[in-house]
Amino acid sequence: MNSDENNWIKACLEGDTASFRMLVNTYRHLAYTLAVRITKNTEDAEEVTQDAFLKAYTSLAGFKGESKFSTWFYKIVLNLAMSKVRRRKPGHQNIDELNLQTAADSESKQKTERTYYVEKAIGSLPDDEAAIVTLYYMEDQSLDEISKVVELTVTNTKVKLFRARKKMAEMLQRELKEDLYSIL
């Protein structure tokens, strides 16, 4: 855990709520991304992310610093997102119908299209594999840390990551064809 985070957490525990805003600013995009990948719905993802921050705030005293704050926090996000999906009524909005607001919004149409297919491919994965892929490509998340978030062994996490990437590669090959090879 970096020293800034450590100081913010300490300040929060001493009653300085403003320090928690720093943690919110640092993790909101990553938490939201993870929530979008699991719920496949931006509204639900926003609600899950906010709930996760509130839960993190109320349980902060229980964070002992045995893992990174991000690992502890992503676990909260993942649990809330999974339980949101479980409680969902049939006929929810699918990711295909979403107007995806991604980092690529302002970039070229081609890149936006690629992003769309990547999201579609991730959306087709089971929840745990989608979470593993998302976390793997996030900054600073090692396989060891991911395995703690998804509560699997490192070996199982590795196997699921392999399966997920294989499925995605096959799907993207079909959707993007030669485009996939020409990206490099």
Partner 1 sequence: MNHIREDILMEFADGTLMPEQKKEAELHLLQCNECREELAMYKSLNDLLTASNIHRAPDEMPDEVMRRIEFHRSIMVRKAKSRNTLIRFGSIMFGMLAAIVSLGFIFGTPSGKDTGFQMPAFMMNAVSYMQSLKLTINNPVILYGVASFMIIMITERIYTGVKHRKVTASTIFGVKNP
Positions in the binding site for partner 1 (CB under 8 A): 17, 20-21, 24-25, 28-33, 36, 42, 45-46, 49-50, 53-54, 57-58, 100-105, 111, 114-115, 118-119, 133-134, 137-138, 162, 165-166, 168-169, 172-173, 180-181, 183-184
**Other Cβ atoms closer than 10 A to 73:** 23
Cβ–Cβ under 8 Å, residues 98 and 145 = no
Q: Which is nearer to partner 1, 7 or 103 (CB)?
A: 103
Q: How far is the CB of 180 from partner 1 (least distance, A)?
A: 5
Tokens read off for 141: 């998340």
146: Cα within 13 Å, side-chain hemisphere: 25
Q: Which is nearer to partner 1, 93 or 173 (CB)?
A: 173
Kindly tell me which of 13 and 89 has the beta carbon lying closer to partner 1: 13
**CB of 148 vs partner 1, minimal distance in Å:** 19
Q: Give how far the C-alpha of residue 25 lies from the chain's centroid of Cα atoms, to the nearest Å.
A: 15
What whole-number distance in Å separates Cα of residue 152 and Cα of residue 143? Answer: 10
Nearest distance from residue 143's CB to partner 1, in Å? 9
The 10 Å CB-count burial string (b at 16+, else e) for 146-155 is bbbbbebeee
What minimum distance in Å lies between the beta carbon of 179 and partner 1?
Answer: 9
